[in-house]
């Protein structure tokens, strides 16, 4: 039995869900999100909650049970609170700034990196060394943050690069004479 799958997903005030077949559509104050589940689970709307149950006792049905429930919960969280990733830039001369829909990064290359921000995600730079990625789609927010981080990953000797705000970089000692 899935401990996660057994819990129903509560719908807070201002959030509505509609189910048509295997597709769940959740509307909230921040927008609308949809998710299509596999045929291994049954999704039902019961008294202000969304309940997911497996259609059989096969291994795949049990795997999908908890996963679909988590996906539906992420839809609800996205349309109510949204998702946020914070990045920090460390290094002399490394900085970021927004120019319209383009994030301009100075990362020690011979040229500035222009990162085109996709639709559905908001990128802001509160300081020159901080980047905030926000949106209602958890996967898209994480992917955009990972793509930005990929331009200059943090290195272990001086710690220069783009890192997540809560990320720990294991520092190495330099070579000795």
pLDDT in tens, 73-85: 999 999 999 999 9
pLDDT at position 79 is 94
Reference 144, options 161, 153, 152, 132; nearest CA is 132
Same domain flag for 97 and 39: no
Give tens-digit pLDDT for 92-112: 999 999 999 999 999 999 999
Task: Using the structure block, give the residue that is written with the tokens 């690069």.
Answer: 161
Give residues with Cβ within 8 angstroms of 87, minimum separation 6: 130, 131, 132, 133, 145, 148, 149, 162, 163, 164, 165
Pair 160, 171: CB distance under 8 Å: no
- Mean pLDDT over each residue of the chain, to the nearest integer: 92
Q: Which domain holds residue 158?
A: 83-164
Q: Which of 53, 80, 107 is the last residue of a domain?
A: 80
How far apart, in whole angstroms, are the C-alpha atoms of residue 159 and residue 171?
Answer: 7
Give tens-digit pLDDT for 129-176: 999 999 999 999 999 999 999 999 999 999 899 999 999 999 999 888
Q: Which of 29, 56, 80 is the last residue of a domain?
A: 80
Distance linking the first and last C-alpha atoms of the chain: 59
Same domain flag for 148 and 88: yes
Give tens-digit pLDDT for 57-70: 899 998 999 999 99
pLDDT at position 154 is 94
**Which domain CATH number covers 61?**
3.90.930.12
């Amino acid at each position: 039995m899935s401990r996660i799958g057994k819990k129903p997903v509560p719908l807070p005030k201002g959030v509505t869900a509609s189910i048509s077949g295997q597709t769940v559509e959740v509307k909230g104050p921040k927008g609308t999100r949809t998710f299509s589940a596999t045929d291994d689970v049954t999704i039902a709307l019961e008294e202000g909650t969304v309940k997911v149950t497996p259609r059989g006792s096969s291994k795949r049905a049990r795997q999908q049970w908890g996963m679909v429930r988590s996906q539906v919960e992420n839809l609800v969280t996205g349309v109510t609170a949204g998702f946020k990733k914070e990045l920090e830039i460390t290094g002399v001369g490394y900085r970021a700034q927004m120019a319209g829909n383009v994030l301009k990064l100075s990362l020690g290359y011979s040229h500035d990196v222009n990162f085109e921000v996709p639709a559905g995600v908001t990128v802001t730079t509160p300081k020159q060394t901080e980047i905030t990625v926000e949106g209602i789609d958890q996967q898209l927010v994480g992917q955009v943050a990972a793509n930005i981080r990929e331009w200059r990953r943090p290195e272990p000797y001086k710690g220069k690069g783009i890192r997540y705000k809560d990320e720990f970089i294991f520092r190495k000692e330099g070579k000795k004479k």
